[in-house]
Amino acid sequence: MVDTVKSVTRRSHRKSRTGCHECKRRRIKCNEEKPQCGNCIRHHMGCVYLSTGAMPVNQSPSEPPLPSISSSLSTLAAKSPLISRDSTYQTYNPSDVRGSRLLFDMEDLDLLHHWTLVTSISIEPTAEVSHIWQTVFPQLGLQHPHLMHSILSLSALHKAYSNPTNKQPYMLKGAQHHSESLLGFKAGITQSGDADDGALFVNATLIFIYAFVTSGPLYDINEDSADAASRTSRVLGTDWIPLLRGIRTILQPTYYRIKHSSLGFLLSIGNWDELDPDALSIPADKELLRIKEIWRGGENAEIYDETLYLLRTFCAWNAQFQDPKEGIEVPSPGYNGEMSGPFIFVSVAPEEYFKLLQQRQPCALILFAYFGTLLHSLGHFWWMEGCGKSIVAVVDECLGPFWDTFLEWPRRTVGLNQGDNQK
């Protein structure tokens, strides 16, 4: 019997060291097919194989050399409210990444052509500035590959949006370019010189737009519980909110230089600072004021009050473009149009609020649902279509029935029926 027991030895677990970066991040088995593994194709993710030769000496062989988007930004946000130039990002060297897209191919030229003729105008239709999206951004992209990848990622998603029956190849292409863009963007933050800051800021703007697209129905994946958890994290901004807010670090030393360059229009916030929601009579503002009672007297009341006031300002900002009858003076046409409202709110809201949001605190989630409700009114922009409804739906899934009263207006406004989410 003893000999029998000795002869039955446990087979050692052979852990793959050569799987793709995304499979390692998700801790799932990679079939190591190239250029795209099966899991990344199924989940529409960018598939990147990392070179084992590029691994730092002081790093464990079992750890991927480059942090995932989610883990790196979440860790960074926990340490600092801003993405710092001194953050310990890995240096991005295209030669260190297997299968890296060192050259743009004919499909990419088609995407660039689509950007110039269609996508750029669909994102910013204002004649006064649309030419900058059409020509200046691509010209910058020729000098900064991370920006070109970002341009092509949005162009691919716009093609997916425009061709729903054949969207999968374009979504995959968009994910590939987005992954490459993020690698270069994160490296650029730590290494940028004066000439790079404009391109980094433009890229941050495009990444923010990409985040909205991936929060909408075009990018919804509802195959299993892991996907549902990933969707919740994505829609609640675990990745893209710290990334957008971190761009302030880039702006601090170069604000005036960018302000007086051809990209200065990107910094305009119009009459945002002059808007006083207390002096206006907007129907949606009454709904916003109603939720103040849920945190009255709480330890985070001051944070929530400040965030609510900024949401009300965002509401007034939208109203001046969507309903001029409200008597608000509409700013002159330009980048400071209605599409910039979400950018401004996410940039100026208190850092403590976003920490509470990532902790899934009920009051913070309720406020984010109302942010989603205001986004819903911007659904005529293709890249925001469905985003507001997704936010309200995810918050509704996170909260219990106790909060239904405060979610009634968001649900009704975005067209989410009571039975759409099962709690």
Helix (H, G, I), strand (E, B) or coil at 97: strand
The arithmetic mean of pLDDT across residues 36-50, rounded, is 65
Query: What pLDDT is attached to residue 358?
Result: 94
Residue range 339-371, pLDDT digits in tens: 888 988 998 999 999 999 999 999 999 999 999
C-alpha span between 177 and 172 (Å, rounded): 9
CA distances from 408 to 372, 396, 411 (A): 13, 10, 5
CA angle 358, 406, 344 (to 5 degrees): 50
Average pLDDT, the chain: 77
Q: In sequence order, what E strands does 271-386 have?
A: none
Query: What pLDDT is attached to residue 330?
Result: 56
C-alpha span between 389 and 416 (Å, rounded): 7
pTM reported for the whole predicted model: 0.71
On whether the CB atoms of residues 145 and 112 are closer than 8 A, the answer is: no
C-alpha span between 264 and 267 (Å, rounded): 6
Asked: is 16-57 a CATH 3.40.718.10 domain? The reply is no
Could you tell me which residues come within 8 angstroms of residue 151 by beta carbon, excluding any fewer than 6 positions away? 112, 115, 137, 138, 141, 206
C-alpha span between 104 and 115 (Å, rounded): 15
The arithmetic mean of pLDDT across residues 229-239, rounded, is 86
Q: In sequence order, what E strands does 48-202 have?
A: 49-50, 97-98
Place of tokens 């590939």: 176
Q: Which residue has the higher pLDDT, 93 or 39?
A: 39
Query: What pLDDT is attached to residue 125?
Result: 74
Burial of 348 (C-beta count, 10 Å sphere; 0-12/13-18/19+): middle
Q: For residue 33, what are its two tokens?
A: 């097919």
DSSP letter, residue 239: T
Q: Which of 116-130, 149-163, 238-252, 276-290 has the lowest mean pLDDT?
A: 238-252
C-alpha span between 230 and 22 (Å, rounded): 13
In this structure, how many other beta carbons lie within 10 angstroms of the beta carbon of residue 98?
Answer: 17
The arithmetic mean of pLDDT across residues 86-91, rounded, is 33
C-alpha span between 119 and 213 (Å, rounded): 13
Which of the four pLDDT bands, split at 50, 70 and 90, describes residue 5?
very low
Rg of the Cα trace of the chain? Answer: 23
C-alpha span between 109 and 141 (Å, rounded): 13
Percentages helix, strand, coil for the chain (3-state, rounded to 5) are 65, 0, 30
